[in-house]
Amino acid sequence: MQIIFIMIFMASAFLIQFLFGFFQIRHFTKAYTELRKLGKVAIGRRPGKIRSGTIVLFALAQSGRILKAKKIQGVTVMARVKDLKGFEGKNIKTLNEADMAKCNKLLRLAILDAVNNYNIIMKGGQIPEQPSFFKRVINQANHLVTSKK
């Protein structure tokens, strides 16, 4: 009888997490669409495994001037998109540490990722796709097997 309650609890927790994730993605998409109407959007991310994950969005003019900035930062699916103040009017190409003085470390890394992604795209390149957790495990296993030979 206890196993049934445990299964129901786990299924309920999964369903609740799915619903909150759905609403978080919907909220993010709405913010992205709003910024996309202003111009190009540079996105930077710093995924969190244990610590909070961070995503920044910069709406850019053709010259690279930041029109509007937003961020989403948090550990749970309860994190929401918020305005990121202090970057409007600055050029994404010339952002430096002084511009990010009031930002925490994870936010700074996400901003630097957005700058890097912008530079790659503007030079005609493609942003390399990060391997998933399982792909990294498989690559490490393959490396161990081939290094023993």
Please give the sequence-ordered ranges of beta strands (E in DSSP) within the chain, or none if there are none. 40-46, 53-60, 66-74, 81-83
What is the arrangement of strands in the sheet containing 40-46, beginning at the earlier edge strand?
Answer: 40-46, 53-60, 66-74, 81-83
Total-model pTM? 0.77
Per-residue pLDDT at 148 = 64
Query: Residue 68's CB: how many other CB atoms inside 10 A?
Result: 18
Long-range pairs of 11-18 with CB within 8 A, sequence gap ≥ 24: 17/77
Query: Residue 43's CB: how many other CB atoms inside 10 A?
Result: 16
Q: Which domains does the chain have, with CATH numbers?
A: 2-127 (3.90.1010)
Helix (H, G, I), strand (E, B) or coil at 54: strand
Pairwise CA distance, residues 15 & 23, whole Å = 12
Per-residue pLDDT at 149 = 58
Per-residue pLDDT at 30 = 94
Per-residue pLDDT at 42 = 93
Tokens representing 50 are: 């244990």
Q: Which stretches in the chain have pLDDT values below 50? A: none
